[in-house]
Amino acid sequence: MSNRLNATPNDLRAFWMPFTANRQFKQNPRMFVSAKDMHFKTAEGREVLDGTAGLWCVNAGHCRPLITEAIQKQAAELDYAPAFQMGHPKAFELANRLVDITPEGMDHVFYTNSGSESVDTALKIAIAYHRAKGDGSRFRLIGRERGYHGVNFGGISVGGIVSNRKMFGTLLTGVDHMPHTHLPQENSFTRGEPEHGANLADELERICALHDPSTIAAVIVEPVAGSTGVLIPPKGYLQRLRNICDKHGILLIFDEVITGYGRLGAPFAAQYFGVTPDIITSAKGLTNGVIPMGAVFVKNEIHDAFMNGPEHMIEFFHGYTYSGNPIASAAAIATLDTYRDEGLFERVGDIASYWEDAIHSLADAPNVIDTRNLGLIGAIELAPIEGQPTKRAFSAFVRAYEKGVLIRTTGDIIALSPPLIVEKAHIDQIVETIREVLGEVG
Ligand SMILES: Cc1ncc(COP(=O)(O)O)c(C=O)c1O
């Protein structure tokens, strides 16, 4: 036992925190102990306004009564049921509720526990679908530079964020990447969808010519790239990708882990942009972030392609111990009820222009080199401090937290995504605080 850490209840060493500057955090911890609606409360008793819906997930705000009650009730009634070869009613009820809000013709859902698992599930479905149809030569997966698709091996292989990939060896083979769509020269300070860059979708044609389209199973993109620092798709870009995929028989996957469940004012970005992919991945807002759960939606012909062979045989060899977990299902149903009863998706449309004005009002703040927005998403890009990339934004994050506003930073970009219940006064507070801290961090 001599080499064990001397653990006391307040010892922070044992927990290796994810995507965190562990040493910095543990010197000066930022701890939340409770939350309600738009606010967290810190261990010191300070209120912090949530400018990021947690991690883009608490779309209905914190500790909402319907969701809390549903979880409590379900935990006391049926805590767990095996997910394989057995069922429970709530998972089926939720599936029906979900396919009511998906684009037409996507009437089937496969449950996971996270966005990363949704992505890997979607990639596996895509490859297996082609094989089920007798087209096993389609195995390649095409992602995009700066894409974020979670942290599992499939997701980091098709993803394009260098620091998430470079430590992990060869990743999946048979993967290629399209260029990202960030064109600062042409599109800086654009309100909503940028004018320039739809032609970047044609890079997919180049990749098709290189590998031959008959080897490509699927293309995966975030309709709005979030984790890389909010890249809004250029006007017409997604439709162009759709057309090229159709032309070559390639499946199009939208990773809607952050855009799903109302972030743009429609249930999914697919409906917002009027472009229907073949597969949608989701998680986060599905349960309001309260219980881990993800969902992958597929077009009917994809699902149906698997439904053959002897009826006693498993059709798709994939799934998780917690797929469709009863408590997660109950939380998701109550979340959908909350979104519907409070008209939260529609609310985004009502407040989006106020949000847009607020984000772009920061265009003249110190060191701001771009502002961008869509729905209830906003980004403020800062010039990096020479030789110290990410430091300016990280300092802004720490200072904003100290002043009572939670923002998120990635690289030197501040990314904002408040709960959909955000009020104008909250938006004012977020923007005023950011302006103040940008004046201070130099
Ligand atoms: C587009 C996208 N895909 C996948 C993920 C991964 O989700 P999770 O962290 O739940 O695994 C995220 C998380 O931010 C995301 O933004």
pLDDT tens-place string over residues 143-183 = 999 999 999 999 999 999 999 999 999 999 999 999 999 99
Residue with the nearest Cα to atom 3 of ligand 1?
149
Do 227 and 266 contact (CB within 8 A), yes or no? no
Query: Does the C-beta of 143 come closer than 6 Å to ligand 1?
Result: no
Query: Does the C-beta of 114 come closer than 6 Å to ligand 1?
Result: yes
**What per-residue confidence (pLDDT) applies to 7?**
57
Closest by Cα among 285, 255, 263 to 148: 255
**What confidence tens digit (pLDDT) does each residue in 192-249 have?**
999 999 999 999 999 999 999 999 999 999 999 999 999 999 999 999 999 999 999 9
CA of 188 to the centre of ligand 1 (A): 26
CA of 8 to the centre of ligand 1 (A): 33
Cβ-based burial of 100 (10 A; exposed 0-12, middle 13-18, buried ≥19): exposed
Residue with the nearest Cα to atom 8 of ligand 1?
115
Do 63 and 57 contact (CB within 8 A), yes or no? no
**What per-residue confidence (pLDDT) applies to 6?**
56
Which tokens is 290 given? 């309260």
**What per-residue confidence (pLDDT) applies to 5?**
55
The whole-chain average pLDDT of the chain stands at: 97
Contacts of 343 (CB under 8 A, 6+ apart): none
**What per-residue confidence (pLDDT) applies to 425?**
98
Pocket test for ligand 1, best of 123, 146, 284 (most atoms within 8 A of CB): 284
Contacts of 300 (CB under 8 A, 6+ apart): 105, 106, 107, 108
Do 233 and 193 contact (CB within 8 A), yes or no? yes
214 alpha carbon, distance to own chain's centre:
30
Q: Which domains does the chain carry?
A: 22-64+343-441 (3.90.1150.10), 68-341 (3.40.640.10)
The pTM for the full model equals: 0.97
CA of 257 to the centre of ligand 1 (A): 6
Query: Does the C-beta of 119 come closer than 6 Å to ligand 1?
Result: yes
**What per-residue confidence (pLDDT) applies to 442?**
78
Which tokens is 248 given? 């070559």
Query: Does the C-beta of 160 come closer than 6 Å to ligand 1?
Result: no
Query: Does the C-beta of 223 come closer than 6 Å to ligand 1?
Result: no
**What per-residue confidence (pLDDT) applies to 191?**
98
Which tokens is 18 given? 């994810």
Residue with tokens 């036992």: 1
End-to-end CA distance of the chain: 48
CA of 317 to the centre of ligand 1 (A): 23
Query: Does the C-beta of 161 come closer than 6 Å to ligand 1?
Result: no
**What per-residue confidence (pLDDT) applies to 198?**
98
**Contacts for 71-74: CB closer than 8 Å, 24+ residues apart:** 71/290, 71/291, 71/327, 71/330, 71/331, 71/334, 73/330, 74/326, 74/327, 74/329, 74/330, 74/331
Distance (Å, whole) CA 371 – CA 361: 9
**What confidence tens digit (pLDDT) does each residue in 263-277 have?**
999 999 999 999 999
Query: Does the C-beta of 283 come closer than 6 Å to ligand 1?
Result: yes
Residue with the nearest Cα to atom 7 of ligand 1?
115
Residue 295 sits at φ, ψ, to 5 deg, of -145, 135
What is the number of the ligand 1 atom nearest to the C-alpha of 114? 10
Query: Does the C-beta of 116 come closer than 6 Å to ligand 1?
Result: yes
- Average of pLDDT values for 250-270? 98
- Average of pLDDT values for 101-116? 98
Reported as a pLDDT band with limits 50, 70 and 90, residue 1 is very low
Distance (Å, whole) CA 118 – CA 297: 9
CA of 349 to the centre of ligand 1 (A): 24
Ramachandran sector of residue 31 (left: φ over 0; alpha: ψ -120 to 50; beta: rest):
beta
